[in-house]
Amino acid sequence: MTLGEIMRPKNIEDFYGQEKILGKNSLLRKAIESDNIPSMIFYGPPGTGKTTLAKIIANKTKLHFEELSATNSGVKDFRLIIERAKVNKRLKERTILFIDEIHRWNKKQQDGLLPYIEDGTIILIGATTENPNFEINKALLSRCRIFVFEKLEENEIKNIIQKAILKKEVKINSEAINVLSKISNGDARIALNVLDYASCFYKRIGEEEVKEAFQKQMYEHNYISALIEAMREGDEKKAIFYLVSMLEAGEDPLYIARRLVVFASEDIGLQNSLALNQAIDVFNACHYVGMPECRFNLMQGVVYMCRNKKSRTLFDTYEETKDKLS
């Protein structure tokens, strides 16, 4: 179990941040305390407590809690949850369905929620990092309350770190805590992941250990995601920035090249079937010449992907067909 899971608060009193939406006289706080939970959309940056608060609400109100991730769930998963929720309803029990990254569900999938919200089979709590006014269907949005989550303050991150230190039984000096709270940028998950990673190698953690752990954690996940997003947007300057940042931090060029091969089919597809050839050529070039020369092969591949028209048709068709088989 990750440190983030270990440290996840179980009640409102231990929940840090979001005073505007969870203060004692707030609408949401009153709804929780009166056991009158509406369907809701939690909108805000990562690591600000959206999933945690959904679980606290279920625990506080004694509602049955079901969870889906929009990135890897299908029709079969949804149907199973709805069947369980129907049974709960007959037994006079209510069900919260929490959907993480709900903006990734297409219109048809989002529309599928409507009848079950309407008849009370589920109370929906959707979490999104994208503006729901643009990413959530109007019909679904009209049936939900939107609550905006903000980045955590540095002092709130520090308090979370202090509690986590007791769990990990490591020593970390005050300067390191200050650095960690700053570089986490209001994201509690980042702070806990970095602390968790650093504690695997060091029993005494200072500023340098925090910075090293942060680089290892962030470059691999955030920068490759940012590179892919920049290529989708066709933003060459941004894509090159993330590519160079990863290479200068020591990232394996073959790891990046493999992502280009996936991108060529997943995000360009039949808009230009030569994109796959280009990506495979880049991978082979990286394998053949290695660093530092292959950085130019990677740059060529990244710019090529940026300049192509994008199509997710192959990906969407596969997912739709998979759902039909469920």
Residue 168 pLDDT grade (very low, low, confident, very high; cuts 50, 70, 90): confident
* Segments making up each domain of the chain, as ranges: 17-148, 154-218, 223-314
Q: What is the DSSP secondary-structure string of 23-67?
A: STTSHHHHHHHTT-PPPEEEE--TTSSHHHHHHHHHHHHT-EEEE
Q: How high is the pLDDT of residue 56?
A: 93
Q: How high is the pLDDT of residue 1?
A: 67
The residue-averaged pLDDT of 85-91 equals: 95
pLDDT over threshold 70, residue 201? yes
Q: How high is the pLDDT of residue 322?
A: 79
pTM, 2 dp: 0.68
Here the tokens at position 212 are 């090293």
Averaged pLDDT of the chain: 89
Cα separation, 196 vs 199, whole angstroms: 5
Question: For the domain bounded by 223-314, which CATH number is listed?
Answer: 1.20.272.10
The residue-averaged pLDDT of 115-128 equals: 95
254 vs 222, residue with greater confidence: 254
Of 61-65, 147-151, 217-221, 235-239, which gets the smallest average pLDDT? 217-221
Q: Which CATH number fits domain 17-148: 3.90.1150.10, 3.30.390.50, 3.40.50.300, 3.40.718.10?
A: 3.40.50.300
Element (H, E) at 64: strand 64-69
Q: How high is the pLDDT of residue 218?
A: 61
Whether 154-218 and 223-314 share one fold: the answer is: no
pLDDT over threshold 90, residue 213? no
The residue-averaged pLDDT of 103-130 equals: 92
Q: How high is the pLDDT of residue 284?
A: 95
Residues above pLDDT 70, as percent of the chain? 97
CATH class of 154-218: mainly alpha
**Using an 8 Å Cβ cutoff, are 7 and 163 in contact?**
yes
Residue 175 makes CB contacts below 8 A (sequence gap 6+) with 206, 207
